[in-house]
Amino acid sequence: MRSWNDRLEDDGESGASEPILRGMVEGLVTNSLRALGRAFSAEDAVDQLRAELLLEVARAMRRDVRAGSWSRLPTGDRKKLRRAVLFLEQLAESGVPVPVA
């Protein structure tokens, strides 16, 4: 019999499943479009270029996840992609200029 506090640790696999990642990437594309709109409203050519690059990355990720290529990756790699999507999402939502290196 198991104790009430003897629980399995969450390894993050469920958060890195393809359906969840697909939804996250769709949200990233939407927020990247909003970031581009903010950049155009500010009439700053550099910010517009940065927002366009963020949108291109988001769209490329969406193409990949829609094609099912992320489902073939090991869980560890999908977790890394999840962290990358979360990071890009924070950039898109922040309203600050997107850094490009």
pLDDT tens digits, residue range 4-14? 555 544 455 66
The predicted structure's pLDDT at residue 101: 59
The tens digit of pLDDT for each residue in 24-64 reads 999 999 999 998 998 889 888 888 888 899 999 999 999 99
- Does 97 have pLDDT greater than 90? no
57/29 Cα distance (integer angstroms): 9
Prediction pTM value: 0.77
At position 61, the amino acid (one-letter code) is: M
The predicted structure's pLDDT at residue 82: 92
Cα–Cα–Cα angle for 12, 60, 88, nearest 5°?
50
Average pLDDT of span 73-78 = 90
Q: For residue 65, how many other CB atoms are within 10 A of its CB?
A: 21
| Full DSSP string of 11-46 | -STGGGSHHHHHHHHHHHHHHHHHHHHHHHHHT-HH
Q: Domain-by-domain residue ranges, the chain?
A: 18-94
